[in-house]
Structure 1
Amino acid sequence: MEQYDVFLINPPSSRMKEKYEHLGLAYIAAFLRKYDINTKIIDIPLYDLYPNDVIYEIKSDKPKLIGVSIPFQDSASEALEFVKSIREAGYKGHISIGGIYPTFSYDEILSVCPQIDTVVVGEGEITFLELARKVLSDEDWKNISGIAYRDDGTLRLNDKRPLIDDLDSMPYPERDTLPIVILKSGFASMLTSRGCYGRCSFCSVGPFFSQFGQKYRQRSVENVIDEIRILYEKYNVRNLFFNDAEFIGGKGKNYERVYKLAEEIIKRGMDINFSIQCRVNDVDKELFSILKKAGLKRVFLGVESGSQTVLDRFKKDVKVEDNIKALKILNDLDLYISMGFIMFDPHINFKELSENISFINNAVKLIGKERLDYYPVSRLLPLAGTEVERDMKEKGLYKGNSLNYNYEFDDKTIGFIYNLSHSVYNLVGNLKSRFKGSSDINTKWIKR
């Protein structure tokens, strides 16, 4: 049986129901294997693995380095408990974690989970590669840029590592898990860019990238098309989920880039369906018409609110009319729409809440329930590193820590309404799922 020097692990997550590829680990694996480092990707949520079975494999294989990703803040507690279990089972090697959340909360994580040796701060590919080469060679790793660690009880944060300027220079992600992903979800994932040009107060993507370099970078059309071709021909992929936080990138040259990408897909006769994510001010009838011709079937649209005062508070830099216009264009093109929407936030008043409810009702009337997906009782999340988190802490609204947070609403009555509606909605949803089964419109775009 092949022995591996490095395990890259997507840890347990009871909240992770969707079966996606973990592109972060796939990119890191590509960098490691480029330098002949034997690497194994273990995706616990994807394979529905028992954590103890993975720990048994760790004890058997004895990798010198384990990298654990924490892709979502609300699953971080489970991930850290998993790390503690690895240590309790007797593992003596190096454990490193990374992700957007650990980048902002490395000090808190290292405090509550001393079983971790290092936290990768920022993009992980080059930093983790350097760490792996040092650890595997039994060399001192404490001067590596882009890591945080505790040294004799003292927190150390090394120099920041700049972002990779040229995304085309990166090897394509490894596709170890793609066969099972296609079986379970029906689609492969891709990234054509990193970051976002927006400045939304509740989003951690912009603050994550901007502290290390450009907040938004893109791959060339040629580089993207080449990876699509490999997926299409080698893996027989016919459904793609473009996992970019911001697929379009705004008007001008970014608009032209996406238009050219659609043209290339059409010209090469690739019969694919795909899904994207974008802001409402990116939605243009001409551009999205050719995207649909190229195979666009579903759009995750960052609408967020139907109240102008809330949009301004969120720093969305759009008008309610822009939200409506975008929905109408996508509806006219007969596309499936997953609408990002934040019904409640700590400062919302009854007028704003009423505007949100009215907006949702009008959106359902316009599009219909068959092609519109949204979560009607969502609330603003104070994610680590965001302006929202900082604002809540300054005003004394933030309760707990980043692993288990809550907050108070300015209006206690609205807080009561949120708690009640959230509980009732989840109860009804669970009952429907149990007795009638669930029907997710987000899978209807997939080519069978």
Structure 2
Amino acid sequence: MKICLISPPYNSAVKSVVGVSSPPLGLAYLASVLRDNHEVRIIDSNILDYSMEDVRRELKDFYPDIVGITSVTPSIPQAYAVAKIAKDVRKDCTVVMGGPHVTFLPVQTLRECEYVDIIVKGEGERTVEELTKAVENGVSLEKVRGITFRKGDKIIDNKPMPFIKNIDEIPFPSRDLLPFDKYQANGVRYTTMLTSRGCPFGCSFCASSRLFGGYWRGRSPKNVLEEMRIIYEDYNTKNVEFLDDTFTLNQKRAEEICDGIIREGWDITWGASSRVDTLTRRLVEKMKRAGCWVLYLGIESGCQRILNGVGKRITLEQVKKAVRIVKNAGIEVLGSFIIGFPDDTLKSIKQTIKFAKSLNIDYAQFSILTPYPGTPVFNYAVENDLLLTKDWSKYTAIDPIMKIKGITEKQLKSFLRKAYISFYLRPKIIWRWIRNRQFTFVKNGVRAVINYLRGRT
């Protein structure tokens, strides 16, 4: 069969302000498990700067039997539009949709969009193998695990697909099916990797632990290094971003990956996300020697009461210690902060902004709490009638989505703008930018964020 996997046209805030689009790694993984038995094409509309009409043209040219569409919450309207185009081009094609949003709202998605036939829930590799066999052979879908689908006027919600225990078994993503040279940051080719899946922590604002069953699975260092060798040697790429929720969760494994990079002598730079309670001086220094240039730390709040309330399970002292360790090793720090938690007050938001400025971090990302489907905070907002809108396109972490007692939408937007301006327009930050010319796309992005927020407030 012909299978077309599509990342729909969506001008995200990140792309708008930073000008960087990441490869659709999930689609590339699915392509790898499908391509031995099917003809597979990936359309990354964002990196190709495609319009909906461009997508239509590609679908007419390829004329696929199955169209698979990935999406996140704010891109759902665009995903629905692609589904309609697919049916316009070929009425009898099977339209499948996946991603975190539809995983948690499969029935609602099918009700919202008549052009979608099947939802793939959660981890997709094994599910799409079963699904494509069933579609190709014209057999019932009721035994295909991990899907929700239409059967006449009914919607059938099948049993979940068990998670893949040994993720080394998953073939490497099919980067050759992507316009690889177009993925650049500041004019330098880069790519992304996923060395683990899942998160054992249950923060109320994050869906990751629910998406992957509440536990963590890591690839072996050997498997990770094999993929890195391909990226470095075959694709001549020296810049990598690890997309793991917490790259350093298993410190021994992280050290072994770093040892391998050092042993190979690869001239590579990379960034990763971490929790402040998983970092040691020994590990961080080894990460630096292995080419790590930046760590993304989920700090979230400068108020301990808020951190406790959202289940973050870290302390402000741990944050301070982790930042010192990372900075002393010569690695840059991007701290992530959220304002507008259900229990936030004007005082606690001010504490968060003040705390961010007190830390010796290089970059700060501020966002307004967005209750994404699948998170406890989304359920809380629905149960207590706190959602301001169900227009999914607004779920961008820049607009207020839920009511916060004692804080207006206007105040939240104002705080977000002030957070960025007060953090970045400081002499020490500006001097740091002048001194450090590496990865200037981040710095340009920050300037653009501030301008973007000025235009929305």
Matching residue within 416, 427, 437 for 2:410: 416
Aligned partners of 1:191, 1:44: CA distance in 2, in Å? 21
Report Cα offsets for 1:311-362 as digits up to 9, x if no partner: 0111110111111111122222232222111022232113312211220221
Report Cα offsets for 1:295-323 as digits up to 9, x if no partner: 00011111111100010111110111111
Is the Cα contact below 8 Å between 2:272 and 2:296 reproduced in 1?
A: yes
Matching residue within 369, 377, 380 for 2:369: 380
1:189 aligns with 2:195: no
Is the Cα contact below 8 Å between 2:353 and 2:419 reproduced in 1?
A: no
Letter in 2 for 1:340: S
Q: How does 1:83-122 map to 2 (within 5 A)?
A: 83-122=83-122
Identity over aligned pairs, percent: 29
Letter in 2 for 1:180: K
| Corresponding residue SS for 1:306 | coil
Letter in 2 for 1:179: D
Letter in 1 for 2:411: I
What's 1:294 paired with?
290
Aligned partners of 2:350, 2:416: CA distance in 1, in Å? 17
What's 2:340 paired with?
344
Is the Cα contact below 8 Å between 1:373 and 1:441 reproduced in 2?
A: no
Q: How does 1:173-322 map to 2 (within 5 A)?
A: 173-175=173-175, 176-177=177-178, 178-182=180-184, 186-210=189-213, 215-249=215-249, 254-322=250-318
Aligned partners of 1:286, 1:425: CA distance in 2, in Å? 33
| Corresponding residue SS for 2:139 | coil
Letter in 2 for 1:381: T
Change (3 A) 1:127 1:443: farther
Aligned partners of 2:373, 2:95: CA distance in 1, in Å? 22
1:393 aligns with 2:382: yes
Is the Cα contact below 8 Å between 2:67 and 2:86 reproduced in 1?
A: no
What is the CA distance between 1:149 and its match in structure 2?
1.4
What's 2:426 paired with?
none
Change (3 A) 1:262 1:320: same
What TM-score do you get using the length of structure 1 for normalisation? 0.87
Residue ranges of structure 2 left out of the alignment (5+ in a row): 396-400, 423-438, 446-457
What's 1:8 paired with?
5
CA RMSD of aligned residues (A): 2.4
What's 2:354 paired with?
358
| Corresponding residue SS for 2:148 | strand
| Corresponding residue SS for 2:183 | helix
What's 1:129 paired with?
129
Change (3 A) 1:423 1:229: closer
Change (3 A) 1:237 1:276: same
Letter in 2 for 1:246: T
Change (3 A) 1:424 1:275: closer
What is the CA distance between 1:223 and its match in structure 2?
0.8
Is the Cα contact below 8 Å between 1:122 and 1:208 reproduced in 2?
A: yes
Report Cα offsets for 1:41-64 as digits up to 9, x if no partner: 110001111221221221232110
Report Cα offsets for 1:26-50 as digits up to 9, x if no partner: 11000001x3311001100011112
What TM-score do you get using the length of structure 2 for normalisation? 0.85
Aligned partners of 1:197, 1:160: CA distance in 2, in Å? 19
Is the Cα contact below 8 Å between 1:347 and 1:411 reproduced in 2?
A: no
Letter in 2 for 1:202: F
Aligned partners of 2:348, 2:419: CA distance in 1, in Å? 21
Report Cα offsets for 1:58-112 as digits up to 9, x if no partner: 1232110010011x21221222122223324454300000011110011111111
Is the Cα contact below 8 Å between 1:25 and 1:41 reproduced in 2?
A: yes
Is the Cα contact below 8 Å between 2:87 and 2:93 reproduced in 1?
A: no
Change (3 A) 1:337 1:424: closer
Larger displacement relative to structure 2 (328-337 or 381-390)? 328-337
Q: How many residues align?
A: 415
Is the Cα contact below 8 Å between 2:271 and 2:294 reproduced in 1?
A: yes
Is the Cα contact below 8 Å between 2:302 and 2:352 reproduced in 1?
A: yes
What is the CA distance between 1:422 and its match in structure 2?
4.6
What's 2:22 paired with?
20
Is the Cα contact below 8 Å between 2:181 and 2:189 reproduced in 1?
A: no
What is the CA distance between 1:256 and its match in structure 2?
1.1
Aligned partners of 1:351, 1:399: CA distance in 2, in Å? 23
Change (3 A) 1:19 1:265: same
